[in-house]
Amino acid sequence: MDRITMEHLLAEHGREWCERLAERIYEMSVDTFSQTVMPSLHAAGWQRRHLDWEFKLRELDSEPDRTLVDGIINATESFLRSSEVHRLFIQELVQGTFDEASDDHLRAEAVRHLIEKEILTLLENNRAELMDRLTARIIEPAGGQVDRAQKAASEGLIEVERLLCNHTESL
């Protein structure tokens, strides 16, 4: 379908209609996952057949291994059913659909440039000062341990940089 037709169709239906459609498809997908995939994941022997070779689960039936795997499987389903994940999925899907139809990639280019050329450069150039300020702010919650506060500050800064990079890749 050409871009003009898609843009016209989206304008005709509106954003709210598109959001409702995306919500319904998401709900159907999670329900289908829960009804078809989850029983297989919990089936006896599935974990051993599919995870043994990669994760070297213990040869004998191991309660701690089974408990850990079951917990991760349940957490995955909870994650998919979470209202925040649902909201973000709908928001990203609808915004992406409208952005793709509009063919206006200037905003994405501006955001990409701002992150890559400005914000990440600022973080790199001011790393020492940022680390000092952040360490000072979290020294008390770190129990007065400077090394612990510095490590947390460094990890936090790295996480922010990673989040920014991931965002530019998603544009």
Q: What is the overall mean pLDDT for the chain?
A: 83
What pLDDT digit, counting tens, does each position of 36-67 carry?
A: 888 887 776 776 667 765 666 655 566 676 77
User: Cα–Cα distances in Å, from 15 out to 24, 95, 97, 98?
Assistant: 14, 9, 10, 8
* Residues 84, 88: Cα–Cα separation, whole Å: 6
Write down the pTM of the prediction: 0.48
Over range 154-165, report the average pLDDT. Answer: 94
What pLDDT digit, counting tens, does each position of 94-146 carry?
A: 887 777 676 667 778 888 999 999 999 999 999 999 999 999 999 999 999 99
Fill in the amino acid letter for 22. A
Residue ranges per structural domain of the chain:
1-103, 105-171
Res. 33 pLDDT band, cuts 50 70 90:
confident
